Structure 1
């Protein structure tokens, strides 16, 4: 799959995830530095929003948009994953008043980035992507955004999250 960052090709490391796959497990850090895995949200529909850094305009918009849209979807947990440090994520969430999305850090070992094929080798960032995982841990929606500075298809992701069981 061809991904660019500011119109320059970049290399993704890890395994590409496809619709129908069993969602790979991962370990990331919560804002309090506790470890979080996919199993921690077992039995729920998960919308995983992947961003390079919350401190950029598109990532900020993406996280806010899914936070707002998630308020209208019952039984869906929204996780935003970036390589930002947990302290920075906590500061960002606190100053922006977001309540419907959990920010998680893949900074420590890029476990999520490798498991979902979004680790940008050249930048040690995560490529922009969205995944929907149903309550049985099956992937029902995947979008790897081909240009990292572009927005994902918000409508399609939200509709996929609403349709997932």
Structure 2
């Protein structure tokens, strides 16, 4: 269980992020067209999982904008922006912002992704949403980097995530 904060107030997650050097846990998430996508669908590509509570917050929106900008120049890399927002809200945000270089994915239905990756918030006002985290996965499906952002209102370390590729 990770101990993180929301504006200085302690909260906990249901577990810990996957371990570096281990196989990434499988997942099934929903795309903006309501189709399902699984981890295995990205086999052979490097992945940056940009995970956050909701696009309706400034910090979450900023992380999607920043990774969208970086993704345009990344070779053989996909940036997956994952939250529990509805796929419609994700599509609306990306359309309004002109975001085209990332893939938004939703864990809205049952939150299985958040639980298997150990990042579902357990308590506090954001309970059941995802904590802010970054997971980098190589072409073989091995986790090469993780960051559990200790303060939810802070942005992730973009440079460290990109360096891990």
Above 0.5 in TM-score?
yes
Corresponding residue for residue 73 of structure 2: 72
Write out aligned runs for 1:12-91 (5 A). Answer: 12-91=13-92
1:16 deviates by 2.9
For the pair 1:105 / 2:109, whether they are aligned, the reply is no
- Identify which of 147, 151, 155 aligns with 1:147: 151
Cα shift readout 1:71-115 (whole Å, capped 9, x = no counterpart):
111100000000100110011111111111011011111121011
8 Å CA contact 1:23, 1:138 repeated in 2:
yes
1:31 deviates by 0.5
Distance 2:73 2:17 in 1: 30
Moved more, 128-137 or 117-126: 117-126
Number of aligned positions between the proteins: 161
Corresponding residue for residue 126 of structure 1: 130
Moved more, 114-123 or 86-95: 114-123
The runs of at least 4 consecutive aligned structure 1 residues that moved more than 6 Å come to: none
Distance 2:99 2:28 in 1: 23
Specify every segment of 5 or more residues in structure 2 that has no aligned partner in the other structure, as ranges. Answer: none
Specify every segment of 5 or more residues in structure 1 that has no aligned partner in the other structure, as ranges. Answer: none
Distance 2:99 2:129 in 1: 23
Q: How does the TM-score come out when normalised to structure 2?
A: 0.94
Task: Report the RMSD for the aligned CA atoms in angstroms.
Answer: 1.0
Cα shift readout 1:9-42 (whole Å, capped 9, x = no counterpart):
2121145311111000011110111111111111
8 Å CA contact 1:119, 1:126 repeated in 2:
yes
